[in-house]
Amino acid sequence: MIEAELKADVHRPDEVSAILRRWADEDTCIYRDSYYELPGDVLGHNRKELRVRTIAGATTRHLLTYKEAPVDEESQSKPEYETQVVDRTVVEHMLHGIGLVPDISFEKHCRNYEFERGGRIFLATLAQVREIDHTVFIEVETMVPETQDVPAALGAIRGVLAELGIDPATDVNSQTYRELIREHRVAHA
């Protein structure tokens, strides 16, 4: 499956949150993400990702996610393979054992909303990475089976953003959280 997704800056988070709460229940949680890399930055050079994520909310769960190179340059939408794991420390030990090294770790405070629009299931996440600054982002994603389905999915995502009062032409932020955090850490070193 391919995760078609756009991330945008949110200028009026309270208004966007109020609209989303009309569409779906709000699930508040904290994502603790650690990205892993092969020596020589092999994954990064090939624009691939390997992540271990803990989602702490009403319950806690751990996910192992591998993302291939983007199939769409503007959105960075990528084929994604994800599975739940029982014990994060065991997975991290395995990754270290086969030669992967921690690349970057951070925490994301999230409010998730899952809803249906036009026959598609969307996940909208209002996210804040406090390490960066007090910017609130919105991620809107939907899963599609084939690369040729990505443009239509991105069009539907742009429609959702517009319904939320977010301008897809000016507010979309194509930088990854990893890039934003690296820039922040360099600027504050």
Of 111, 104, 109, 110, residue with least CA distance to 181: 104
115 burial via Cβ count (<10 Å: 0-12, 13-18, 19+): middle
Of 132, 137, 122, residue with least CA distance to 185: 132
Mean pLDDT of 123-137: 91
Write the CATH number for 106.
2.40.320.10
Mean pLDDT of 14-38: 97
Number of domains within the chain: 1
> What pTM did the predictor assign?
0.94
What is d(CA 128, CA 75) in angstroms, rounded to the nearest whole number?
A: 19
Q: How confident is the model at residue 130 (pLDDT cuts 50, 70, 90)?
A: confident
**DSSP line for the chain:** -EEEEEEEEES-HHHHHHHHHHHS--EEEEEEEEEEE-TTTHHHHTT-EEEEEEEESSSEEEEEEEE-S-S-TTT--EEEEEEEES-HHHHHHHHHHTT-EEEEEEEEEEEEEEEEETTEEEEEEEEE-TTT-S-EEEEEEEEESSGGGHHHHHHHHHHHHHHTT--TTTSB--S-HHHHHHHHHHHT-
Direct distance between the N- and C-terminal alpha carbons of the chain, in angstroms, rounded to an integer: 39
Question: What are the tens digits of pLDDT across the range 142-151?
Answer: 999 999 999 9
Question: What are the tens digits of pLDDT across the range 33-45?
Answer: 999 999 999 999 9
Q: Print the domain residue range for 17.
A: 2-187
Question: What are the tens digits of pLDDT across the range 89-118?
Answer: 999 999 999 999 999 999 999 999 999 999
For position 116, what pLDDT does the model report? 97
For position 79, what pLDDT does the model report? 97
